[in-house]
Chain A
Amino acid sequence: MSVFQTTIPDVADQEPMIQLLAPDGIRTPHDEFDAVLDGSAGGGGDDDLQTPERLRGYYRDMVMIRAADLEATSLQRQGQLGLWASALGQEAAQIGAGHASRAHDYLVPTYREHGVAWARGIEPWRLLELFRGISHGGWDPAELRTHPYMIVLGSQAPHAVGYAMGLQRDGLVGTGDRDTDTAVLALFGDGASSEGEVAESFTFAASFQAPTVFYTQNNQWAISVPTTVQSRVPLAQRSRGWGIPSVRVDGNDVLAVMGAVRSALDAARAGEGPRFIEAVTYRMAAHTTSDDASRYRPGAEEQEWAEKDPILRLRRHLEQLGEIDEDYVKRCDEEGHDLAMQLHHHIHGMEDPDPVMIFDHVYAEPHPVVDAERAQYLEYAAQFEDEETAR
C-alpha cells in the first residue's frame, strides 16, 4: 500500500444513501432519523414531524409548489418572465429542508429554492419579481429569516458562516434553550459545491465551529455538466477532510431529508459545529427556460427519475397508511390550480417600475454622484413628459 492515503473510497457509489421512503412508498425504519422525526431525540424541537396531518401537509406543499413552478414556466413562455429556473423534481429536497428548519433558523438559498421559500412563507409571486426583472429581490431577509436568492453560485456560503459566527457571539448557540438556540442552513447545488467560496466556507465553519448546516441538492446536472465532472468522489465526502461530518440522503424522500436536516440543525444549534448533507435528487426540467436539456442528456434518464418522483412517493406512502383519500388529492390539485391562477393574476398586475428607481438604494447614505445623476435623469425624462402633454 502506498504512503499516499485517502480517507475516502475512490468509487462514487461506495457512499451509502439513507432512504426512509422507497419510490413505491414503502417505509423503512431508521433509528437515528426516526428519533429526530418523532421528536423523541430531544434536540431542537420535540414536535412529531411525521403525524399523518403533517405528512399530508408536505404532500400538499409539494403539489402547490409544483403547480406554481409549472405556471411560472408558462408565464415565461408567454413573455411575462425573462427567465425561470424550474425546481421540478426537487420538491421533497426543498419542502423537507424548509420544514425541518425551525422558524428562527436562518436560511441561505441559491436561486432555485422555490420549495424552501414556500416553506418559509415567501409567496411565489415575490420570487417572480427577480425573474420578471422588476426588482433584484422581493423580501426582507431579516423578517423572513431567509437570505436573498443568490445567482453568483457559492457566494452565499461564507455569508451563512458569518451569520453563524454572529449567532455564536450573540450567545444563541449551545445554551440548551431550544427557543433561542439558532443555526444557519446554507443551500447550494452540486455545481456550486466546486466553488472556492464553498471550500473556504467549510474551512471557516470548521475552524470556528460555526453553527452552519451545508446542504447540497445534487440534482445531477450543473446546466450541461454532470456531477461526476464536479467531483471525483461522492459529494457527501467532500466535507470530511475538513472535519465536517456529513451524510448522503435520498433527496426525493421527504422524510430522509427532514431527518438529516433537522438532525444536523439540532447538532449545530447545540454547539457541535457544522454538518454537511448531500440530498440526491434530479432536475427534471432544463436548467432554465433558456436551456435545452435534450442537447446533453438522454430522455431515458429523465424517465428513470420520473419513476422516483417525490410527490408520488409520499402519496403512495400515505395511501399505504390509509391516511389520504381521493378527495384530499383532488383538493390539493385544485388548490395548486388556484395558486397558479393567483400567480397569473399577480404577474399581470405587476407594473414596470419607474426607471428612476435605478438610482435608489445604491447607497444607504447620501451620495453626490448618484444624486446628481438622478437629477440629470429626471430633467432629461421631463422633456419627454412635456412633449406628451403638448400632444
Chain B
Amino acid sequence: MTETRSGHATTLPIAKAITAGLRDAMRADDHVMLMGEDIGRLGGVFRVTDGLFDEFGALRVVDTPLGEAGIVGTAVGLAMRGYRPVVEIQFDGFVYPAFNQITTQVAKMHYRTGGRVTLPMVIRIPHGGGIGAVEHHSESPEALFAHTAGLRILAPASAQDAYWMTRQAIESEDPVIMLEPKKRYWIKGDVDPDHRPELSPWQARVLREGTDATLLAWGPSVPLALESAAAAEEDGTSLEVIDLRSLAPLDLPTVTDSVRRTGRLVIVHEAPVTGGLGGEIAARVAEECFYHLEAPVTRVGGYSTPYPPARTEHAYLPDLDRVLDAVDRVLQH
C-alpha cells in the first residue's frame, strides 16, 4: 500500500472519515472509482465525496444519470473489466430500483460463474432514520441484503470504523454493502489512518463490558446502546454492549460468548422487528446458548409498519426508554 494517506491520527466526523477512506483508497489504487447521483461537483447530498471530483476527475468520480439499476449494473460491468467501483445510493429508500441488480447479479456473479468472476465493488447506502426526513429517506433495509447469499454488509458506527471499513470494503474481493449511519454522520471520533486495526471488519466488538445483560446494536443504534448502558449503570445494572459491525457474515461467537456470561440479550435496531436481522440473531443464540439464557432474547426495533411521517418517528425508533424497558423485562426473569 502506498503512503499517500490523508494525514495522521486525527479527529473527524463519520462522514469525513469515509471521505478520507475513499480518498486514500483512490490514491492507493487507480482502479478505484466512484459512481452515483450528485457525487461530483456537489460532493454528494451528504458531502461524503466532497473534494474527490476535483482531485480525481470526472472519469473516476462519475456523476451518473439518475437510475439506480443502471448505476449498480454498470458498476458490475466495470468490475468485470478490472475496476473497483464504489457506488453511492443517495438514500436507503432509493436502493430498491437497484434491488434486482444487487440480488440477482451482484450477489450471484461469483457463484454462477463457478468462481471465475469476482466482483470487488462497494455499494454505499446512507441508512436509518431520525433526521426528520420525508418519506423513503429513513429506511433500514439490512435484512433484505443479509438474507441474500453472496453479499457482505458492514455497518460502521464510529469514525475509525468508517475510515477503515471503507478501505477494507474496497479491498474485499467480494461485493460489500456499506450501511452508513446518516444521523450519526457528523459525530466526531478519532481516526488513525496509519495503523490498520487488528480487529477484522467482519467481527463484532465489545464496546463495554457488563454482567447483567448484553445489548447488541449496529450502525446508528450503537450510540443509543452505549447511552442506555450508562443510564442503567446509575440504577446499578451492568450492561455489556456489543457493536455488531458486520451484518453479513454475522460474527456469532462474539455474541454467544457474551450471552453465555450475561444470560440475557437485548437486540436493538431501527428496522422493523418482523423478519429483521434481530430475529435471525435471536434464533441462533437460542440454538447455541439455550441453557445459558435466563430470559427470552428480546428485540427493540421499528414497528411492523412502513416508516412513519417524521413528526412521529420518535415513537417508532428505539430510544433510551424503550431500550431500558426491554432491559427491565429481561431482568425480571
Known: A166-B82, A362-B149. A137 touches B113 (CB 8 A): yes
Instruction: With A137-B113, A142-B116, A152-B100 as known contacts, state yes or no: A164 contacts B77, CB within 8 Å.
Output: yes
A348 interface hit (Cβ, 8 Å): no
In this complex, how many residues of chain A approach chain B with their Cβ under 8 Å: the count is 42
Judging by beta carbons under 8 Å apart, are B110 and A364 in contact? yes
Contact segment of B63-71, B122-130, B134-142, B221-229 = B63-71
A169 touches B83 (CB 8 A): yes
| Minimal beta-carbon separation of B318 from chain A (angstroms) | 26
Selected contact of A369 from candidates B112, B117, B174, B249, CB within 8 Å? B249
B106-121 contacts to A, CB under 8 A, are: 108-118
* Distance between Cα atoms of A38 and B250 in the complex (Å): 60
- Chain B window 72-90, contacts with chain A (Cβ cutoff 8 Å), 1 for yes, 0 for no: 1111111111110100000
Contact between chains at B115 and A162 (CB < 8 Å): no
Given contacts A155-B105, A162-B75, A369-B249, contact A196 B80 (CB under 8 A): no
Q: Is the CB of A161 within 8 A of B74?
A: yes
Does A167 sit within 8 A of B, measured CB to CB? yes
Which residues does chain B contribute within 8 Å of A368, judged by CB atoms? 202, 249, 251-252
Q: A159-B80, A170-B81 are in contact. Are A369 and B111 (CB under 8 A)?
A: no
A162 to B79, CA, bound (A): 8
Of the candidates A147, A157, A362, the one whose C-beta lies within 8 Å of that of B110 is A362
Q: Could you tell me if B112 and A148 are in contact, using CB atoms closer than 8 angstroms?
A: yes
Mostly, the A contact residues are: helix
Choose from B73, B111, B112, B249 the contact partner of A158 (Cβ within 8 Å): B73
> B312 at interface (Cβ–Cβ under 8 A)?
no
Asked if A140 and B116 make an inter-chain contact with CB atoms under 8 angstroms apart, the answer reads: yes
Report if A351 contacts B (CB, 8 A): no
Q: A360-B115, A368-B249 are in contact. Are A141 and B80 (CB under 8 A)?
A: yes
Which residues of B are found within 8 Å of A367, using beta-carbon distances?
A: 249
Given known A-B contacts A158-B74, A364-B115, A369-B250, A166 and B81 have beta carbons under 8 A apart: yes
CB < 8 Å neighbour of A141 from B73, B117, B150, B172: B117
Give the interface residue-count category, chain B: 35 or more
Asked if residues B173 and A365 are in contact (CB atoms below 8 Å), the reply is yes
Contacts of A179 in B (CB 8 A): none
- CB-CB < 8 A to A159: which residues of B? 73-74, 76-77, 80, 105
User: Is B166 engaged at the interface, CB distance under 8 Å to the other chain?
Assistant: no
Given A137-B113, A363-B174: A201 and B73 interface contact (C-beta under 8 Å): yes
Tell me whether B264 is interfacial, beta carbon within 8 Å: no
| Chain B residue at smallest Cβ distance from A367 | B249
Report whether A161 and B77 are in contact in the complex, using a CB–CB cutoff of 8 Å: yes
Please pick, from B75, B113, B149, the residue contacting A148 in the complex, using a CB distance under 8 A. Answer: B113
Distance between Cα atoms of A148 and B76 in the complex (Å): 13
Interface contact A197-B69, CB-CB below 8 Å: yes
Residues of B within 8 A of A305 (CB): none
A160 within 8 A of B: yes
Whether, in the assembled complex, B152 has its beta carbon less than 8 Å from a beta carbon of chain A, the answer is yes
Q: Mark A168-207, 1 if CB is under 8 A from B, else 0.
A: 1110000000000000000000000000110011011001
CA distance A164 to B83 in the complex (A): 12
> In whole Å, how far is B262's beta carbon from the nearest beta carbon of chain A?
23
| B104 beta carbon closer than 8 Å to chain A | yes
A351 CB, min distance to chain B CBs, angstroms = 16
Interface residue A54 (Cβ < 8 Å from any Cβ of B): no
Min CB gap A203→B, angstroms: 5
Assess whether B173 is in contact with A167, with CB atoms less than 8 Å apart: no
Q: Is B199 an interface residue (CB 8 A)?
A: no
Interface residues of B in 18-40 (CB under 8 A from A): 33
The residues of A that contact B117 with a CB separation of less than 8 Å are 141-142, 148
Q: How many angstroms between the C-alpha atoms of A139 and B81 in the bound complex?
A: 17
Assess whether A136 is interfacial by the CB under 8 Å rule.
yes
> With a CB–CB cut-off of 8 A, which chain A residues contact B116?
139-142
CA of A196 to CA of B101 in the docked complex: distance in angstroms?
12
A204 to B73, CA, bound (A): 10
Q: Which residue of the partner chain, among B59, B78, B100, B115, contacts A163 with CB atoms under 8 Å?
A: B78
The verdict on A165 contacting chain B, using a C-beta distance below 8 Å, is: yes
Q: List 25 A-B contacts (CB under 8 A).
A: A136-B111, A136-B114, A137-B113, A141-B117, A142-B116, A148-B113, A148-B117, A155-B105, A158-B73, A158-B101, A159-B74, A161-B73, A162-B75, A166-B77, A166-B78, A166-B82, A169-B59, A200-B67, A200-B70, A201-B74, A204-B65, A361-B115, A362-B149, A362-B150, A368-B251
Apart from A136-B113, A141-B80, A162-B74, what are 18 other A-B pairs with CB-CB below 8 Å? Answer: A136-B108, A137-B112, A140-B113, A152-B100, A161-B70, A161-B74, A162-B79, A162-B80, A165-B81, A169-B83, A196-B69, A200-B73, A203-B65, A203-B67, A204-B67, A361-B113, A365-B174, A370-B249
